[in-house]
Structure 1
Amino acid sequence: MVEQFVGKWKMTSSDNFDEYMKAVGAGFASRQMANLAKPSLTIALDDQGFISMKAVTTFKTLEIKFKLDEEFDETTADDRKVKTVMSLADGKLFQTQTFSLSLSLSLSLSLSLLFSISVQKCTMDDVVAIRTYEKDA
């Protein structure tokens, strides 16, 4: 079912992302760059069951490769070292990151589809950001 996410996506809107970045502990410079960036996202599935997600901006390119429900190490765009698990449930792709500020915290991101629009919901405690992507033709 992850096949529905495969393809190229372009971000069309981002709401409350600065507050979300503050909540995860991102510094001012990282937040400013993240708020200016309009990432394109490519999601691919290989024949061995690995999924890759590549986010490209004018500032930075990040790529993760994973299997569903298996924990892996990830370095985020703002250089946090996190443990990540990607899972699929109810037609949504969920990303859960665990990291430490002064204690262990967990945040979640979910990616859901509605026709050719993908909505990414980023949650940290009670702070929620919504980023919307459209699938490239």
Structure 2
Amino acid sequence: MSIPFNKKYKLERSENFDDFLKELGVNYLIRKMAGSTTSTVELVKEGDNDYSFNTTSTFRSQSIKFQPGVEFTEKRMDGQEIPCVITFDENKMIQEQKGDKIVTLIREFTDEELFLTCKVGNVEAKRWFKAC
């Protein structure tokens, strides 16, 4: 299966997300706001090899523009700028952030759902999104 582009997914639930943010060093107040915020995400194909991944929430919105396999500087939701690489593997979008700690975000797309696995150190969080 390939990735369905230009489709929006809304966050339904999370597991262990607070521990993931804590491992990243995110302060308590921001962790609580992030954990209670519902976000909508969309992967958009902009051209032959140009993409954007858009996140919209009541807390903050962000658009990441990238080319698969090409390192770029990402400004994370916490404001930190870090080197990042995004690749595709069948229906998965794999994002590696190379800040103080290596963070891996694996997004697995279907027509109806998006499943996100967030890894940093020995901590793993899971987030489930539904197509909207």
| 2:114 paired residue among 115, 118, 136 | 118
1:61 is aligned to 61
Tell whether the 8 Å contact from 1:17 to 1:130 is kept in structure 2 after alignment: yes
Output the aligned Cα RMSD. 1.6
Contact 2:4 2:110 in 1 (8 A): no
Instruction: Quote the residue 1:22 is aligned against.
Output: 22
User: Offset at 1:2?
Assistant: 6.0
Q: Secondary structure at the match of 1:10?
A: strand
Letter in 2 for 1:78: D
Which moves more between the two structures, 58-67 or 108-117? Answer: 108-117
Give the percent of matched residue pairs that are identical in Structure 1 and Structure 2.
Answer: 24
Pairs within 5 Å for 1:88-127: 88-100=88-100, 105-127=101-123
TM-score by length of 1: 0.89
Q: State TM-score, norm by structure 2.
A: 0.92
Structure 1 residue 90: Cα displacement: 4.3
TM-superposition CA deviations, 1:60-88 (whole Å, max 9, x none)? 11110000001111111112221110001
**Greater alpha carbon shift after TM alignment, 2-11 vs 119-128:** 2-11
Shift of 1:114: 4.2
CA gap of 1:52–1:22, structure 2 versus 1, over 3 A, is: same
Contact 1:3 1:45 (C-alpha < 8 Å) held by counterparts: no
Give runs of ≥4 in structure 1 deviating > 3 Å: none
The C-alpha deviation readout for 1:4-38, integer Å capped at 9, x for no partner, is 24311101111110000011111112111101111
Alpha-carbon distance in 2 for matches of 1:109, 1:3 = 16
* One-letter code aligned to 1:70: V
Contact 1:2 1:88 survives alignment (8 Å): no
Following the alignment from structure 2 to structure 1, what is the Cα–Cα distance between the partners of residues 3 and 123? 30
Q: Give the structure 2 partner of residue 87 of structure 1.
A: 87
Verify the 8 A CA contact 1:119 1:132 in the aligned structure 2: yes
